Amino acid sequence: MTDTLRADGRTPQQTRPVAIERGWSAQAEGSALISFGGTKVLCTASFTPGVPRWLTGKGTGWVTAEYSMLPRSTNERMQRESIKGRVGGRTHEISRLIGRSLRAVIDTKALGENTIVIDCDVLQADGGTRTASITGAYVALVDAIEWARERGFIAKRAQPLTDSVAAISVGIVDGVPLTDLAYVEDSRAETDMNVVVTGSGDFVEVQGTAEGAPFKRSELDALLDLALVSTTELAELQRDALAEGR
Amino acid sequence: MTDTLRADGRTPQQTRPVAIERGWSAQAEGSALISFGGTKVLCTASFTPGVPRWLTGKGTGWVTAEYSMLPRSTNERMQRESIKGRVGGRTHEISRLIGRSLRAVIDTKALGENTIVIDCDVLQADGGTRTASITGAYVALVDAIEWARERGFIAKRAQPLTDSVAAISVGIVDGVPLTDLAYVEDSRAETDMNVVVTGSGDFVEVQGTAEGAPFKRSELDALLDLALVSTTELAELQRDALAEGR
Amino acid sequence: MTDTLRADGRTPQQTRPVAIERGWSAQAEGSALISFGGTKVLCTASFTPGVPRWLTGKGTGWVTAEYSMLPRSTNERMQRESIKGRVGGRTHEISRLIGRSLRAVIDTKALGENTIVIDCDVLQADGGTRTASITGAYVALVDAIEWARERGFIAKRAQPLTDSVAAISVGIVDGVPLTDLAYVEDSRAETDMNVVVTGSGDFVEVQGTAEGAPFKRSELDALLDLALVSTTELAELQRDALAEGR
Amino acid sequence: MTDTLRADGRTPQQTRPVAIERGWSAQAEGSALISFGGTKVLCTASFTPGVPRWLTGKGTGWVTAEYSMLPRSTNERMQRESIKGRVGGRTHEISRLIGRSLRAVIDTKALGENTIVIDCDVLQADGGTRTASITGAYVALVDAIEWARERGFIAKRAQPLTDSVAAISVGIVDGVPLTDLAYVEDSRAETDMNVVVTGSGDFVEVQGTAEGAPFKRSELDALLDLALVSTTELAELQRDALAEGR
Amino acid sequence: MTDTLRADGRTPQQTRPVAIERGWSAQAEGSALISFGGTKVLCTASFTPGVPRWLTGKGTGWVTAEYSMLPRSTNERMQRESIKGRVGGRTHEISRLIGRSLRAVIDTKALGENTIVIDCDVLQADGGTRTASITGAYVALVDAIEWARERGFIAKRAQPLTDSVAAISVGIVDGVPLTDLAYVEDSRAETDMNVVVTGSGDFVEVQGTAEGAPFKRSELDALLDLALVSTTELAELQRDALAEGR
Amino acid sequence: MTDTLRADGRTPQQTRPVAIERGWSAQAEGSALISFGGTKVLCTASFTPGVPRWLTGKGTGWVTAEYSMLPRSTNERMQRESIKGRVGGRTHEISRLIGRSLRAVIDTKALGENTIVIDCDVLQADGGTRTASITGAYVALVDAIEWARERGFIAKRAQPLTDSVAAISVGIVDGVPLTDLAYVEDSRAETDMNVVVTGSGDFVEVQGTAEGAPFKRSELDALLDLALVSTTELAELQRDALAEGR
């Protein structure tokens, strides 16, 4: 019975309810408040003409990302990294992952010498915050590019976006492959995998980790199958959110 | 004509629409998402039994606060303080102000050896973020205390709260005293004053700064009058928010 | 009897002996060693032609301040902030207050594109270090401007100083408003207020904090009256110090 | 012709010459200087009885790792992270990867309340430093465990090691899957994958990144096949190194 | 003619006027404001019962020192190390030198499990700040030990001080060995040597540096001779200062 | 009997076996892996055209050095300074010493506007790491200068090197002056002295410290004699290493 398998009654193939509140921020050039069940991430895209010095004059743009969690987004309060005076390894790692994932669908030549900084701030965390961040960040990114095009910073005909991108966490819990792990599932998973996939179904990142026992090739294959189903659904939700007028 | 005075058509004595979304966070012991027009602050209260080492065994509790702004809460993106590796002077100053303001209405003996940390994270900024933080933090604080009382961490009869507390920014713009300054007003103000007032109408903090020319005693008096009117209204809104069931 | 009220036998309206040793430093363009009883602060003003990059070309100057306490200026030794690797909230807050207070009497256009950095280093602390810093810093500032005028960095006719500025701490102890709180008084005060006032008697900063119980409007008024009397006396002492040849 | 494919004349399936100089350090409980062609990493394992405070009394041990590059291990000198005052994202990420990889073959119960810290310091870098680190670290880890067993810190019959672990980087260059990428190959790779595999042939980590275009499922499969061949060879080299007397 | 040799008319063997204002600080257990001409250093000694954790239970005390310069002690303002967020190499080096020099005349067993922290803050710098610090610190140290003895923290008969200690900078300028280099001399010196000597005339530290050309054995010998003459004079000045009642 | 005096059977005048593996690094412009018995230091010299901004246009070059120890170069593992977030006092002090020592034999005018950074990374530590660093760094420096000359960055006829430089640690153990102290000797030494000497036999640095009791002039003289013998031998070893083809 699947209802005993997953605390919230989902089937193994079923993601939590996903909502994308596009244009949440009145300040940013692009933004989305995305939720996967109890996980809520505010994604903003900040557009600025020009690029960092090391890129100047090369005719290419720059997209980067920063991820952070509010101190009480989690069940127990965490110390702020600004107070600690240093950004932790996990934060760095996820920020870099989000940046790489978005750059995989960006033609930096077409973007021109412009910079887009994506901020993904986790307001509430219940598993899958990095994959929710990537999925929401894409929507914010699209709107920031559109904003810049309307104001002439990006040429009318330029196509900086080559595809869409979304991500999901999948894992094996009690021997069963499950998609979109909630926090309680994630902490019990034997194997945990974050998969970033384009709208065309190609892989951008595949990160599988044996939390408990090492995993077999067949398990890896089952998880990738599951991830592709979920990211196809997420790509559709992104399209729907972007279809509405801002 | 007052409608030419304030861009949003308010009278000098009128605050922006204030909304208090109590219990916004599913994780924190107390929380409120408070908005003053375009200013939105997520306030969470984290309760933990026990106190920092320097207070242990003294029979008193501890309430402290941390304030922070999301990098793109403002019109231009700011660098994260976690990336800079140090918390700026303004952030420190506001965190300390919020903490002092809340402690002014707390009987730390009645709180017992318990700690409450208030986090005020500005999701969107349009002036008055520190006073909105104090006003929202009070609501989160009340709920965290209630949460602890229900679980026996605070004695049933103990009354840790001695009063309510709310805050407003007032200032003189083009010679006219105005309440609840929006960002565009704040940046034009000759004098800027943050006033923290209890439900009983006594002062907790009065911080007046001459941004342009030094100000006269009569101007100071007019601003205090204005602040007391607004904080009386805010105290009522807090009571209303807390009157509803959680 | 007032002699039981104040440990040092002062009347409520009486400041401690104030001494201003102008030109203490042989290195700085302006300097003053100021003492309020046991509180001793070395104030230096460093003049440099040019302004920070963000001000270049705007035709205005810059005045800023840094406050610090020697580790053994206090009764118990404090850790150095250089060793901790970060400047504390209180230090930042006071540095910002001193800077704002001085800028309130500076016409930055008349100063031209020049920078003056004020350093206030507390050699010995017995209450009122921030207000002593402001009062002494003004004297150092005047001399640094004069130094620059003599060397042609500031035009002969330019009047960068629009007024003088001095500050005092006042507070309510055992229900009685007192001026110039010594450390033992400050730590017992129910309400503590730092007031920065120009030579003309207008306010630059009013910072009142309820250390114990919130305070009433009438108490606020009494403290402001007291502060104005003391700052008038301090303005006179500043004039006297500056009247002598350097 | 494969000799035009790879600058050093290797076939796609061929790793560079791998050498493991076991017991290089006279100080550490276990150590190995491992080289993959021009990549040289000094791996040391430091054994200490006891565990960090958060693990005390749980009856389990702790294995962690730190990775670092000498400033002139690379073709252009890099600034030291100690001088910058912060450890970069890439360093953190690799340190965490090495630690997770080793813990995947450790039974922390059998290790007892003991800590092993692995240091992987890159003396010379020519691609694949993180996978060389994992492969060398395993050898150092085995010796540190043996050292501790001989001195009675680990019970004679305890088996803290459940398997061996080795790692390889594979990637697609000009459409051809290649194993053990040298630096010049790595920087041209369209897809880059680090694969950590146990002696039994199960996966511990699979990290694939599209450096250029997103990659297809079939490409992913080809890379995994290649990685398994190489890690099988590496496992044998590890066995050989450990077979000799220390 | 020697008067053309040294700008202030001193002979090569003559130190600048040295003044020791013992007990300058009302807060510290021991203190001295020492001046060598334009160099002024405030030395305080802070006594606390108990020792750092790593010394607890060993029956020995601890003496350590921290050196710092006020930002405008020098001719051009330096940035504060607290603002930079790190203590510079020179500061560390001098702090360590002062600590070692004082410990050379301390019997830590006789001191008992007590800690004395010496702070040497340079108020004005004109060369020789480190050697002035050592010379002044000794006086502060003596008084802190006396303070502790009077209060019973140190046994009446214990003799923690085994000797006195003083220091001088000597150097070769234009081929002539000179004692007590002022800043203008120091910056022209070919060889610079700091020598720390006990009251009995033995060496505690000898630090000679070729600023320009390497120096000969005969030059080294001449500098040591000169240093011993000056430190003998300083030891007498220390005795005189300590002979007066506090 | 000297064999009871020194654990490794050396005579007081005898250094440990010294080996200089020139050109160890395939990446750096100059390099040497130097060992003094169990002390092993990897020295690399990185050449870059141009100088730091504060030297630009002055026609002189810049040579600087950084020293660091691998965390497990010592008998007990030390925390990495990159993890601590700050470079310790000892590290700073030694880095500065190495830089000064090398600059003493460099004619910076002849070097032209070029920068050479020396990195001395201690792979294994058994006493005398700073003096081994200086001795090995000189060899790396020579090769980096030769590398630059061959490529035309330094004029063919320019002679940036004015002499060679080597260093040794000497000390008094149980009353006997010994050269090249191993770690066990160093920790027992009453007096410890690091001496840096040119190939011509002149002093660059003399740093003597009384670890236990202050030392006499006669002891100082004996140590200097001993140091000069050893540095003469080291200078010959450097010449031999440099005589072979790279």
Average pLDDT over residues E206-218: 90
Question: Hey, is the C-beta of B27 within 8 angstroms of any chain A C-beta?
Answer: yes
For A25, the closest of B85, B91, B124 (CB atoms) is B124
Contact A95 D89 (CB under 8 A): yes
For F74, the closest of D27, D66, D80 (CB atoms) is D27
D206 pLDDT higher than 50: yes
Chain A residues whose CB is inside 8 A of the D92 CB are: 88-89, 92-93
Q: Compute the distance between CA of residue E231 and CA of residue D99 in angstroms, rounded to an integer.
A: 56
For residue E4, count CB atoms less than 10 angstroms from its CB and return exposed for 0-12, middle for 13-18, buried for 19 or more: exposed
Average pLDDT over residues C98-111: 96
Q: Compute the distance between CA of residue D132 and CA of residue D127 in angstroms, rounded to an integer.
A: 9
Contact E46 C81 (CB under 8 A): no
Query: So what's the pLDDT on residue D4?
Result: 63
Which CATH number belongs to the domain containing residue B119 in this structure? 3.30.230.70
Average pLDDT over residues A56-77: 95
Considering only CA atoms, which of D101, D223, D117, D214 is closest in space to residue D163? D101
For chain E, give the percent of residues with pLDDT over 90.
86
Q: Compute the distance between CA of residue E190 and CA of residue E166 in angstroms, rounded to an integer.
A: 24
Contact B208 C210 (CB under 8 A): no
Tokens of B182: 């929006």
Query: So what's the pLDDT on residue A199?
Result: 97
pLDDT tens for the 246 residues of chain B, in order? 444 679 899 999 999 999 999 999 999 999 999 999 999 999 999 999 999 988 899 999 999 999 999 999 999 999 999 988 888 889 999 999 999 999 999 999 999 999 999 999 999 999 999 999 999 999 999 999 999 999 999 999 999 999 999 999 999 999 999 999 999 999 889 999 999 999 999 999 999 999 778 999 999 999 999 999 999 999 999 999 999 866
Contact F89 E95 (CB under 8 A): yes
Query: So what's the pLDDT on residue A27?
Result: 93
Only one residue has tokens 């007028």, namely: A245
C2 pLDDT higher than 60: no
Q: Compute the distance between CA of residue C164 and CA of residue C233 in angstroms, rounded to an integer.
A: 12
E3 pLDDT higher than 50: no
F88 pLDDT band (50/70/90 cuts)?
confident
Considering only CA atoms, which of B15, B37, B8, B234 is closest in space to residue B138? B234
Contact F124 D44 (CB under 8 A): no
Mean pLDDT for all residues in chain D = 94
How many D×F Cβ pairs under 8 Å? 86
What angle do helix axes E89-103 and F89-103 make, rounded to 10 degrees? 110
Answer whether residue A133 is part of any domain.
yes
**Count of residues in chain F:** 246
Contact D27 F72 (CB under 8 A): yes
By C-alpha distance, the chain F residue nearest E96 is: F89
Contact C80 E86 (CB under 8 A): no
Chain D residues whose CB is inside 8 A of the F91 CB are: 82
Considering only CA atoms, which of E205, E130, E214, E235 is closest in space to residue E172? E214
Element (DSSP H or E) covering residue C91? helix C89-103
Beta-bridge partners for A32: A22, A43
Contact E80 C70 (CB under 8 A): no
Contact F89 E96 (CB under 8 A): yes
Query: So what's the pLDDT on residue C3?
Result: 46
**For F14-23, what is each residue's pLDDT tens digit?**
999 999 999 9
Contact B214 C208 (CB under 8 A): no
Query: So what's the pLDDT on residue A172?
Result: 94
Q: Compute the distance between CA of residue B224 and CA of residue F81 in angstroms, rounded to an integer.
A: 53
- Looking at chain F, which subunits does it touch, using at least 3 CB pairs closer than 8 Å as the criterion? D, E
Question: Hey, is the C-beta of C219 within 8 angstroms of any chain E C-beta?
Answer: no
Contact F77 D117 (CB under 8 A): yes
**For A20-50, what is each residue's pLDDT tens digit?**
999 999 999 999 999 999 999 999 999 999 9
Answer whether residue E116 is part of any domain.
yes
Phi, psi of D161 (to 5 degrees): -95, 125
Residue type present at position E129: T
Contact C214 B220 (CB under 8 A): no
- Looking at chain B, which subunits does it touch, using at least 3 CB pairs closer than 8 Å as the criterion? A, C
The ipTM estimated for the assembled molecules is 0.93
**For A177-192, what is each residue's pLDDT tens digit?**
999 999 999 988 999 9
Please enumerate, by residue number, every residue of D annotated as part of a binding site for phosphate: 90, 128-130
Contact F214 E203 (CB under 8 A): yes
**For F110-144, what is each residue's pLDDT tens digit?**
999 999 999 999 999 999 999 999 999 999 999 99
Select the residue from D78, D82, D120 to test the F interface by mutation, using most F Cβ atoms within 10 A. D82
In the DSSP assignment, the letter for residue C53 is G
Question: Hey, is the C-beta of D83 within 8 angstroms of any chain F C-beta?
Answer: yes
For C210, the closest of B204, B207, B209 (CB atoms) is B204
Considering only CA atoms, which of B39, B64, B230 is closest in space to residue B127? B39
Mean pLDDT for all residues in chain A = 94
F67/chain D closest Cα distance in angstroms: 10
For E201, the domain range is 18-243
Percentages helix, strand, coil for chain B (3-state, rounded to 5) are: 35, 30, 35
Contact F202 E209 (CB under 8 A): no
By C-alpha distance, the chain A residue nearest B45 is: A72
Question: Hey, is the C-beta of A208 within 8 angstroms of any chain D C-beta?
Answer: yes
Query: So what's the pLDDT on residue F245?
Result: 66
Chain B residues whose CB is inside 8 A of the A86 CB are: 82, 85
Considering only CA atoms, which of A158, A67, A47, A41 is closest in space to residue A119? A67
A2 pLDDT band (50/70/90 cuts)?
very low
Question: Hey, is the C-beta of F229 within 8 angstroms of any chain E C-beta?
Answer: no
Contact B89 C95 (CB under 8 A): yes
**For E139-156, what is each residue's pLDDT tens digit?**
999 999 999 999 999 999
Contact F82 D77 (CB under 8 A): no
**For F173-183, what is each residue's pLDDT tens digit?**
999 999 999 99
Question: Hey, is the C-beta of A47 within 8 angstroms of any chain D C-beta?
Answer: no
**For B181-202, what is each residue's pLDDT tens digit?**
999 999 889 999 999 999 999 9
Contacts of F50 (CB under 8 A, 6+ apart): F56, F113, F114, F115
Average pLDDT over residues C97-116: 96
Answer whether residue F223 is part of any domain.
yes
Question: Hey, is the C-beta of A200 within 8 angstroms of any chain D C-beta?
Answer: yes
Chain B residues whose CB is inside 8 A of the A91 CB are: 82
Question: Hey, is the C-beta of E79 within 8 angstroms of any chain C C-beta?
Answer: no
Q: Which C residues, 96 through 155, put their C-beta within 8 Å of a C-beta on chain B?
A: 96, 100, 104
Judge whether A231 and A197 are in contact, CB under 8 Å: yes
Contact E66 C75 (CB under 8 A): no
**Count of residues in chain E:** 246
In the DSSP assignment, the letter for residue D113 is S
Tokens of F97: 């010493």
Q: What is the DSSP string of chain F?
A: -HHHHSTT---TTPPPPEEEEET--SSSSEEEEEEETTEEEEEEEEEEES--GGGTTSS--EEEEEEEE-TTSSSSPPPPHHHHTS--HHHHHHHHHHHHHHHTTB-HHHH-SEEEEEEEEEEE-SS-HHHHHHHHHHHHHHHHHHHHHHTTSS-TT---B-S-EEEEEEEEETTEEEES--HHHHTT-SEEEEEEEETTS-EEEEEEEESSS-B-HHHHHHHHHHHHHHHHHHHHHHHHHHHS--
Answer whether residue F1 is part of any domain.
no
Average pLDDT over residues D75-79: 94
Answer whether residue D178 is part of any domain.
yes
Q: Compute the distance between CA of residue D200 and CA of residue D132 in angstroms, rounded to an integer.
A: 19
Mean pLDDT for all residues in chain C = 94
Name the residue with higher pLDDT: A246 or B82: B82
**For D39-71, what is each residue's pLDDT tens digit?**
999 999 999 999 998 889 999 999 999 999 999
D240 pLDDT higher than 90: yes
Q: Compute the distance between CA of residue D218 and CA of residue D80 in angstroms, rounded to an integer.
A: 41
Q: pTM here?
A: 0.88
Chain E residues whose CB is inside 8 A of the F189 CB are: none
Mean pLDDT for all residues in chain E = 94
Phi, psi of D43 (to 5 degrees): -110, 125
Mean pLDDT for all residues in chain F = 94
**For B94-135, what is each residue's pLDDT tens digit?**
999 999 999 999 999 999 999 999 999 999 999 999 999 999
Query: So what's the pLDDT on residue B240?
Result: 96
**For F190-201, what is each residue's pLDDT tens digit?**
999 999 999 999
By C-alpha distance, the chain C residue nearest B216 is: C202
Question: Hey, is the C-beta of F86 within 8 angstroms of any chain D C-beta?
Answer: yes
Neighbours of E59 (CB within 10 A): 12
Question: Hey, is the C-beta of C64 within 8 angstroms of any chain B C-beta?
Answer: no
**For A117-162, what is each residue's pLDDT tens digit?**
999 999 999 999 999 999 999 999 999 999 999 999 999 999 999 9
Tokens of D212: 């250029």
Question: Hey, is the C-beta of E207 within 8 angstroms of any chain C C-beta?
Answer: no
- Looking at chain E, which subunits does it touch, using at least 3 CB pairs closer than 8 Å as the criterion? C, F
Query: So what's the pLDDT on residue C7?
Result: 87
C97 pLDDT higher than 50: yes
Bridge-based pairing state of the strands C191-198 and C165-173:
antiparallel
Contact E27 C124 (CB under 8 A): yes
Q: Compute the distance between CA of residue F82 and CA of residue A90 in angstroms, rounded to an integer.
A: 17
Task: Work out how many domains chain B is built from and give that number.
Answer: 1
Q: Compute the distance between CA of residue D187 and CA of residue D189 in angstroms, rounded to an integer.
A: 6
F219 pLDDT band (50/70/90 cuts)?
very high
Percentages helix, strand, coil for chain C (3-state, rounded to 5) are: 35, 30, 35
Chain C residues whose CB is inside 8 A of the E121 CB are: 70
Question: Hey, is the C-beta of E204 within 8 angstroms of any chain F C-beta?
Answer: yes
E2 pLDDT higher than 60: no
Query: So what's the pLDDT on residue C4?
Result: 63
Chain B residues whose CB is inside 8 A of the A66 CB are: 71, 80, 83
Answer whether residue B150 is part of any domain.
yes
For C89, the closest of B96, B197, B205 (CB atoms) is B96
Contact A210 D93 (CB under 8 A): no
Only one residue has tokens 């280093």, namely: C121
**For C171-205, what is each residue's pLDDT tens digit?**
999 999 999 999 999 988 999 999 999 999 999 99
A26/chain D closest Cα distance in angstroms: 31
For A89, the closest of D95, D198, D205 (CB atoms) is D95
Answer whether residue C140 is part of any domain.
yes
Answer whether residue F80 is part of any domain.
yes
For chain C, give the percent of residues with pLDDT over 90.
86
D3 pLDDT higher than 80: no
For A82, the closest of B74, B81, B123 (CB atoms) is B81
